[in-house]
Structure 1
């Protein structure tokens, strides 16, 4: 049985990291030198505008669009405790921020589409086992560490190290820290304390709108975050990057060191498991299922919709069985595609209608189980009265489609263009309008090839009638650069 492998394809312009499970691509991360992701980066910002109506502020951090900071993401100036010991939040953004104020902020969401980055002043700095929280002293343990004894041990160890290193900060213990020795935790804590000190020193001297701290490059970040994943191999097609990744692993993830290898092969590394083909498929609307059924993905501004069809799959037993089998296979494919396409926000899945409650339950359970491997947090609701499954998946980066594509210049993202027939009739109306308004000896019509073909063939009788009606000859000329919807009527 094959395990999980990481393939790293590195060029000076772009780094791509593929996560392959049992020979199948399940996740793709990419970072371009011109547009590095900014999640986790810390900036010195200046408050541009405070918006009481939205309880938020826009902050200039040096990017082309101002970033968004909500009141709930601002550390209160003074913590006011209520009778039951809870911290009461200052209710107004005006009490927290003022225009022109300089603040240290961290990006929690990259700029997506037309929206600027999302910020927080609850800054966190991660290392291998711990995450430092400068604004409080508490110790939190990752929910994925389930063993109560181990949770108690880690909490005690970290609290003891806080006292020993005289660290005034709080820490979150990451999943990777399960079974970590006190010495390993201590190294992390000392490293984080020093790092935070240097961030603070830099932030004092830097001008607003500058980056104070950047998260690790993608190749190293992947190793740090691949917590609890049994990796068979990490293959890197650049010797220099392989050396850098090995140095990083030796310091932070020594157990992965022997699995890192430089890939010197003649074949491009992404050809090993048909990764390039899978990326291409992940950009298409239609996803074929082995059974003959298929899925249709539609990504809109508000949500992503997924439709499931039986297609050519006719099954062997009866219709209900065929539908059930298709839906089960679809649940697996959807979980993989959501990770691969990195789709986030609201997702609506239209499974084929099932009559048996047991089948509905099994399909939903199958989807939940398949989503468990996904590191992005998701929430799945029950089947709605209309037979739809509503779910959400945490969105932090742009989807694969938004990273690799741009809207089509011909249809401007609509996904369709007017038919040649529609354009012909629009043109006839325009000719009538211009012939009435202006005196001309002749009309010249410039249009795309399919439109002119239609005018001279199936619509030739209509053109002859129109010429007779307006009493002016009409000439047609093909413009190669025109889209099907474009035309011009020129008076000669």
Structure 2
């Protein structure tokens, strides 16, 4: 598999896309006025403790206080009373694990973790862990031994543990030593900042998006990294020379006349990623509905009729859908609880193969996922770790016409609402006549299909009802005006 990273930089926004075999797979967006906070370390103050929720709110200097659970506090777990761990007014060093989403503040932890290319330094533990994605006992043991030797040989004193990241697989002694030295030096610097820091204040700012991408997404299959900003290219080049020198040959400055994200149709793909319906090559389609609590993905056969029988048609559609779902989860950055409604399959072996295909495509996902088996109703429940807003949440807002419902009342329904409202006004004010202001579709219906009903209402009240089109009104918007 060949993969390319395209980096588009403007004064107000940075967009990073990952393209695999010519197909857009992931999109990351960071706006200058609203940079992501995940990884930032703050010195804050506890402003409210909630015993009933085993949690507390911490003021870290943002618009909304951050939220921390007892299990995310050093020495605490889900059963430890939060009152024994924190009290109001207490100063607390915390790190952001989830960006503020919608009306919720940032999710925080007191168990700090500072990442580098191959390692994550955890100053409050002595544990050396290895990413679960690194297979093989021999390789895991080798990496643990390298970290232990590095700590000893570099004379790194003081408490602190490490986790070996997935990128560490195959790394040598020199790379591990460089990372441990870098992280320890960084932590000493942070310790000095913490001593004199005010409350609340930011003490460690995570790298900007384009540098985080080089640190976290550089892997052997990356064949090219295109950057359309000369200044950003030079910053990335210096960073890569120091921390990821093996990908230096893949860096390219892109000065081309064509916008960089027009390559491979990336802009069009990003637009399609905001749509509810996702067509499949077979003629079937997915319907994706995102709510605050969960996301549902419904699989439909659509125009696909297959060549053999119904069961085979359903199986092939579900198999293709499983692959498409894996891509859509990454592309749209959907997180939290996700319900997948596959078409019902009678064959148990077909269910197993679809489930296995879903697991296989999710192996490429950098976010942590967990999948249940296929239920009797053909549903698959899964979770995907959410650390930032989804693509839809970042790029869109609730429709002013439908208030985010996705539907509006029909013109017929609005006409009946108008009739009822006129009767209410008649009882309350007994006006001499009434003027209805409404959209073109509603006025047209009142003059056509519902003209007899309008005449009956006028006769019943003995009053005149005048109609006026307001071109700026949405279909479900109207006013009744008294003289």
Range of TM-score over shorter length: over 0.9
Shift of 1:227: 5.2
| Length, aligned pairs only | 481
Shift of 1:177: 2.3
**Corresponding position of 1:154:** 143
- SS in structure 1 at match of 2:223: strand
The equivalent position to 2:98 in structure 1, one of 109, 112, 127, is 109
**Corresponding position of 1:43:** 42
Asked if the contact 1:76–1:89 (Cα under 8 Å) also holds between the matched residues in 2, the reply is: no
Runs of 4+ in 1 over 6 A off after TM superposition: none
Asked if the contact 1:90–1:96 (Cα under 8 Å) also holds between the matched residues in 2, the reply is: no
**Corresponding position of 1:68:** 67
Shift of 1:157: 2.5
Question: Which deviates the most, 166-175 or 35-44?
Answer: 166-175
Asked if the contact 1:76–1:90 (Cα under 8 Å) also holds between the matched residues in 2, the reply is: no
Question: Which deviates the most, 247-256 or 441-450?
Answer: 441-450
**Corresponding position of 1:265:** 256
TM score, norm. by length of structure 1: 0.95
- SS in structure 2 at match of 1:273: helix
Q: CA-to-partner distance for each residue in 1:233-259, whole Å, 9 max, x for gaps? A: 001111111111111111111110000
List gaps (5 residues or longer) in structure 2.
none
Shift of 1:402: 0.2
**Corresponding position of 1:83:** none
- Structure-to-structure mapping, 1:221-236, within 5 angstroms: 221-226=212-217, 228-236=219-227
**Corresponding position of 2:473:** 482
The equivalent position to 2:169 in structure 1, one of 178, 182, 189, is 178
Asked if the contact 2:374–2:380 (Cα under 8 Å) also holds between the matched residues in 1, the reply is: yes
Question: 1-side partners of 2:298 and 2:170: how far apart?
Answer: 44
Asked if the contact 1:448–1:482 (Cα under 8 Å) also holds between the matched residues in 2, the reply is: yes
- SS in structure 2 at match of 1:458: coil
Shift of 1:101: 1.0
Question: 1-side partners of 2:286 and 2:135: how far apart?
Answer: 36
Residue 470 (1) aligns with residue 457 (2):
no
List gaps (5 residues or longer) in structure 1.
78-87
- Structure-to-structure mapping, 1:5-24, within 5 angstroms: 5-24=4-23
- Structure-to-structure mapping, 1:440-455, within 5 angstroms: 440-455=431-446
- SS in structure 1 at match of 2:103: coil
Please give the root-mean-square deviation of Cα atoms over the aligned residues, in Å: 1.5
The equivalent position to 1:377 in structure 2, one of 361, 365, 368, is 368
TM score, norm. by length of structure 2: 0.96
- SS in structure 2 at match of 1:245: helix
Asked if the contact 1:6–1:18 (Cα under 8 Å) also holds between the matched residues in 2, the reply is: yes
Question: Which deviates the most, 441-450 or 381-390?
Answer: 441-450
Residue 93 (1) aligns with residue 82 (2):
yes
- Structure-to-structure mapping, 1:386-397, within 5 angstroms: 386-397=377-388
Q: CA-to-partner distance for each residue in 1:103-145, whole Å, 9 max, x for gaps? A: 1100011111111111001001111122111112222222223
**Corresponding position of 2:451:** 460
Residues 90 and 134 of structure 1: is their aligned pair in 2 closer, same or farther, counting only changes over 3 Å? Answer: farther
**Corresponding position of 1:209:** 200
Shift of 1:392: 1.2
**Corresponding position of 1:249:** 240
Residues 317 and 75 of structure 1: is their aligned pair in 2 closer, same or farther, counting only changes over 3 Å? Answer: same
**Corresponding position of 2:58:** 59
The equivalent position to 1:119 in structure 2, one of 98, 104, 108, is 108
The equivalent position to 2:357 in structure 1, one of 366, 374, 378, is 366
Shift of 1:198: 1.4
Shift of 1:391: 1.2
Shift of 1:25: 0.3
Residues 422 and 89 of structure 1: is their aligned pair in 2 closer, same or farther, counting only changes over 3 Å? Answer: closer
**Corresponding position of 1:315:** 306
